[in-house]
């Protein structure tokens, strides 16, 4: 289940993984059949898309399967769309909790503690990005913060506000806390729990597949 992910582990991001999957498929197609008709190319593109989606689903299924029964129950209870750590080590170390308007993940990986705190978002009438959200993560305006050695990034996605943090055992030496690169990569590598559902029963675009009764 984690084969694809382990191969791509160094890429750190779902987007990178998608690109890699697409690239490898394109490379194979290009080498073996360099002059195929348009209709066949379209078929190949569909296959590539399917392959990429399969890769994402594989990671999401792995992340979900790595959770304890209690954490999986919390994923189901979550009132907001659930993102999970795509990284295998982080996924298997994750403890998920959920409340009436939030869910959270805590994962200790070596000396690093990863934390994801997600709260249902109050709709903004203006639609403008909040102050300080001058960068982008997962395609959304994002804000990076640093506080007492803890690196964090926050953004909004599918009706919820996500705050991802990393705390280090050696906060002034570990690059995961001295630079933002790690937390940014970690954010990009988060996978939707809904993607763990079989495509036939729950399309990858359906955010509420595993977040019964509250996903918006």
Residues that bind another protein (CB under 8 A): 70, 95, 97, 99-102, 104, 106, 108, 111, 113, 115, 117, 119-123, 125, 130-133, 143-150, 154, 156, 161-163, 165, 167-173
Nearer to another protein, 130 or 203 (CB): 130
CB of 176 to another protein, least distance (A): 12
Long-range pairs for 46-52: beta carbons < 8 A, 24 or more residues apart = 48/21, 48/22, 51/21, 51/22, 51/25, 52/18, 52/21, 52/22, 52/25
Nearer to another protein, 34 or 125 (CB): 125
Nearer to another protein, 5 or 162 (CB): 162
51 SS3 class: helix
CB of 13 to another protein, least distance (A): 21
Identify the helix (H) or strand (E) that includes residue 181. Answer: helix 181-188
CB of 201 to another protein, least distance (A): 29
Nearer to another protein, 45 or 156 (CB): 156
Instruction: Spell out where the chain has E strands.
Output: 83-84, 94-98, 102-109, 112-120, 135-137, 140-147, 150-157, 160-168, 191-192
Nearer to another protein, 99 or 203 (CB): 99
Provide the pairing of β-strand 150-157 with 160-168.
antiparallel
Label residue 87 left, alpha or beta by phi (over 0 means left) and psi (-120 to 50 means alpha). beta
CB of 63 to another protein, least distance (A): 18
CB of 170 to another protein, least distance (A): 5
CB of 216 to another protein, least distance (A): 14
């Amino acid at each position: 289940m984690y084969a694809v992910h382990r191969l791509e582990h160094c890429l750190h991001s779902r987007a990178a993984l998608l690109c890699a999957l697409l690239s490898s498929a394109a490379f194979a197609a290009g080498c073996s059949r360099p002059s195929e008709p348009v209709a066949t190319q379209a078929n190949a593109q569909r296959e590539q898309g399917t392959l990429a989606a399969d890769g994402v689903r594989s990671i999401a299924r792995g992340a979900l399967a790595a959770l304890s029964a209690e954490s999986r129950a919390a994923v189901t209870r979550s009132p907001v769309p659930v993102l999970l750590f795509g990284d295998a080590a982080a996924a298997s170390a994750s403890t998920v909790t959920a409340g009436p308007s939030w869910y959270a993940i805590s994962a200790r990986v070596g000396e690093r503690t990863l934390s994801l705190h997600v709260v249902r978002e109050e709709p903004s009438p203006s639609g403008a990005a909040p102050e300080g959200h001058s960068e982008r993560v997962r395609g959304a305006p994002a804000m990076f913060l640093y506080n007492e050695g803890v690196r964090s990034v926050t953004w909004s996605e599918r009706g919820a506000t996500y705050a991802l943090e990393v705390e280090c055992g050696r906060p002034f030496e570990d690059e995961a806390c001295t630079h933002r690169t790690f937390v940014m990569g970690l954010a990009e590598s988060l996978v939707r729990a809904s993607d763990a559902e079989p495509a036939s029963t729950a399309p990858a675009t359906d955010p509420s597949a595993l977040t019964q009764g509250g996903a918006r």
